[in-house]
Copies of this chain bind each other. A is one copy, B any other.
């Protein structure tokens, strides 16, 4: 039979009340008693019954995803995955909500985050671009004992918060390797398109991409990054112009999570030239384009996994539990038509 707290009290030679004080880190425990309990825990192999803990605490966990208002298919997918998790977690007294706020103005984001307190929310997963104000706001959130997860976003990583997402330099390097190897002996230029190069993740992907192209594929050349600002007309214009000026373009790399606008522009402008195309993130658009062989490879991070991981992390932090690190690492996936 598995030892209970009562057994532990007996083994440690203290009362149940003291066991309770030790296990729940309550005040007024002498070092001597704490040591006796710790030893007894080791000796009899005591493990708290999580079900009993959850039942007795009878606590409701409240977690919040803070996502941008802007965004296309990838964001939609993310929100769908959150809804899915919400249904599952309802059984476990865990409320999950999504709040979308405009990320253009860092002050506004910071203000929103600052208004959150420990009473209304246990944990927040934030997807916001890098800015000192937002970073400060996150640090202050942590100080107010709200569990913070930096979620799939191009911010400086905080020490005091968890990060969920891939290493974007490595993701860019992976894209570079795929593009380079798929192009084989073909020489020429690679067009690089992003929504904006303000985001840290775009910068890191670009750096990773270039690091591979420059060292391993010297016959290829990455063009300067084009920025669409998620504007279709602007995308059409600058992409068409770039393709005209660079008739020796052999490939396209879309840095952003949303590839629909830039790639539609590319296909409008490309004429009949076959280009090797690498993009990021699995969306209905990129999936279809892979099937149609208009995209050669997609570098992706599983949004479902990311959402569940963020929730597991916030939950574990709330309970002061350890978590299985290997389960929380988000993989850089390479998607082809064949392994969708």
A6 in the interface, Cβ–Cβ < 8 Å? no
A170 and B338 CA atoms in complex are apart in Å by: 6
Contact between chains at B90 and A336 (CB < 8 Å): no
Q: How far is the CB of A57 from chain B (nearest CB, A)?
A: 9
Contact between chains at A47 and B339 (CB < 8 Å): no
- Interface residues on chain A, number (Cβ under 8 Å): 46
A110 in the interface, Cβ–Cβ < 8 Å? no
Q: Which of A81-96 contact B (CB under 8 A)?
A: 84, 88, 90-93
* Contact partners of A264 in chain B: CB under 8 A: none
Q: Is the interface of A mostly helix, strand, loop or mixed?
A: helix
A226 in the interface, Cβ–Cβ < 8 Å? no
Q: How far is the CB of A135 from chain B (nearest CB, A)?
A: 28
Partner of A338, one of B88, B176, B324: B176
Among residues of B, the one whose C-beta sits closest to the C-beta of A299 is: B339
**Stretch touching chain B among A36-44, A48-56, A233-241:** A48-56
A326 and B77 CA atoms in complex are apart in Å by: 13
> Given the interface contacts A336-B174, A338-B176, does A50 sit within 8 Å of B302 by beta carbon?
no
> Given the interface contacts A50-B91, A181-B181, A324-B84, does A334 sit within 8 Å of B331 by beta carbon?
no
Please list 12 pairs of residues, one from A and one from B, whose beta carbons are closer than 8 Å in the complex, sorted by A's number.
Answer: A49-B55, A51-B55, A51-B92, A55-B55, A170-B339, A173-B339, A176-B338, A177-B338, A181-B181, A185-B185, A212-B338, A302-B331
